[in-house]
């Protein structure tokens, strides 16, 4: 027998009653009220810690019994999931473990899950979307950061011929073309846009020592295109924004992502893994066309010589976006030794 409250469902009056269970029959008796019902006809609320049980009776009335007063054997076999949850809520170690699991799951999703999904989406993105984003980015930069080149027309024509000849024999590429601009704000730099445009600045071209080093840098940028690094990086960057917008129901902010894509492209800094993939692609592409991969290291060293230690406090933009380190140089030298053995 337990104490409870009886609500008739027609008034706000509360009656104190004693509730009993005899066999399969539930009965109650108290202030001017009594009754009985088969337990199977009683709809019992789920167990929630700190919340009274509500027993809804067939006639529309209700019995309420304090959470801790309800005998466990009265509801045996009913609300098994809620009973398990109630038991788990009472265990401090379970709560701490839940926080840890949620934290690890969130870290795993951001570190591995979202990049994996972003890569799959980027790989299946229609080519027309790549073209539209690349052209939009180029339009945004042209006239602001990208100005008409001051290189002689003969030099530009020669470089385009070299680039076209080399890229035609590289498999796995979209339609690509070379664009040359002067850019005092960007400095020595080269980058590839999703539509297949490979941009070189005058400053970078003047720093490169020969045609082979130009082709080596071109091969690296073509590697970014072949592996869809631009769109993969963009999707990884906007993925968290999409998740937050959807979580808070702010769907209107999602429309601004497409407009922000060129900004991601302009300020892109590839991960070390993406840079390594593009390097390997370049070394193999160079070797297949009879060009010693040491030309890649020559290009990086030439940039260092042209800008020794960034004496004026300004770093070389290309080496900022494509960091030069001993490991990458060592890989280029190893690829060169392998090439010379062939």
| pLDDT tens digit sequence for 111-136 | 778 778 777 777 777 778 778 777 88
Cα distances from 48 to residues 72, 95, 214, 216, in angstroms, run 13, 15, 70, 67
| Percent of the chain clearing pLDDT 90 (strictly above) | 28
Q: Average pLDDT for residues 64-90, to the nearest whole number?
A: 68
Top-confidence residue, 246 or 233: 233
| Total-model pTM | 0.64
Q: Which of 159, 224, 156, 235 lies closest to 191 in space, CA to CA? A: 224
Q: Considering only 46-50, 158-162, 179-183, 305-309, which range has the smallest mean pLDDT?
A: 305-309
**318: nearest Cα among 216, 141, 187:** 187
Question: Quick check: helix, strand or coil at residue 207?
Answer: helix
pLDDT score of 307: 60
Strands 190-192 and 177-182 come out as unpaired
Q: What is the mean pLDDT of residues 45-65?
A: 82
State which of 92-101, 175-184, 231-240 shows the largest mean pLDDT: 175-184
Other C-beta atoms closer than 10 Å to the C-beta of 336 total 20
Q: Can you tell me the distance from the alpha carbon of 43 to that of 22, in angstroms, rounded to the nearest whole number?
A: 17
Listed in sequence order, the residues at least 6 apart from 138 whose beta carbon sits closer than 8 Å to its beta carbon are 146, 179, 193, 195, 197, 199
Q: Is the pLDDT of residue 68 over 60?
A: yes
Amino acid 247: pLDDT: 56
* 143 has a pLDDT exceeding 80: yes
Task: Identify the architecture of domain 2-81 in CATH.
Answer: Roll (2.30)
User: Quick one: pLDDT band at residue 79, thresholds 50, 70, 90?
Assistant: low
Residue 313 has pLDDT above 60, yes or no: no
Give the C-alpha separation, 281 to 144, whole Å: 32
- What is the CA angle 252-250-261, rounded to 5? 55
**Which of these, 78, 77, 41, 38, lies nearest to 56 by C-alpha position?**
41
Residue 156: predicted pLDDT? 96
What are the residue ranges spanned by the domains of the chain? 2-81, 91-124, 126-341
């Amino acid at each position: 027998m337990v104490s409870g409250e009886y609500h008739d469902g027609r008034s706000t009056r509360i009656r104190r009653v004693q509730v009993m269970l005899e066999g399969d029959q539930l009965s109650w008796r108290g202030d001017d009220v009594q009754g009985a019902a088969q337990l199977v006809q009683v709809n019992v609320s789920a167990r929630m810690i700190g919340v009274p049980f509500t027993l809804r009776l067939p006639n529309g009335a209700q019995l309420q019994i304090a959470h801790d007063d309800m005998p466990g054997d009265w509801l045996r076999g009913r609300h098994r999931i809620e009973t398990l949850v109630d038991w788990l809520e009472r265990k401090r170690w379970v709560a701490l473990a839940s926080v840890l699991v949620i934290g690890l799951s969130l870290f795993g999703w951001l570190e591995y899950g979202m990049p994996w999904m972003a890569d799959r989406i980027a790989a299946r993105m229609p080519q027309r979307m790549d073209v539209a984003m690349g052209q939009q980015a180029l339009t945004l930069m042209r006239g602001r950061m990208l100005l008409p080149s001051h290189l002689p027309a003969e030099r530009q024509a020669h470089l385009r011929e070299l680039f076209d000849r080399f890229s035609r024999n590289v498999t796995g590429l979209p339609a690509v073309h070379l664009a040359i601009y002067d850019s005092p704000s960007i400095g020595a730099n080269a980058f590839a846009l999703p539509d297949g445009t490979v941009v070189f600045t005058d400053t970078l071209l003047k720093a490169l020592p020969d045609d082979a080093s130009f082709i080596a840098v071109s091969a690296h940028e073509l590697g970014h295109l072949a592996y869809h690094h631009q769109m993969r990086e963009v999707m990884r960057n906007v993925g968290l924004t999409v998740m937050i917008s959807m979580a808070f129901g702010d769907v209107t902010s999602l429309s601004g992502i497409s407009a922000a894509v060129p900004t991601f492209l302009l300020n892109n800094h590839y991960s070390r893994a993406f840079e390594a993939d593009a390097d390997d692609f370049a070394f193999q592409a160079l070797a297949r066309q009879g060009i010693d991969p040491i030309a890649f290291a020559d290009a990086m060293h030439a940039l260092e010589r042209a800008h020794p230690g960034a004496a004026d406090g300004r770093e070389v933009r290309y080496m900022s976006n494509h960091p030069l380190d001993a490991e990458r140089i060592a890989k280029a030298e190893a690829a060169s030794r392998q090439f010379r053995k062939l």
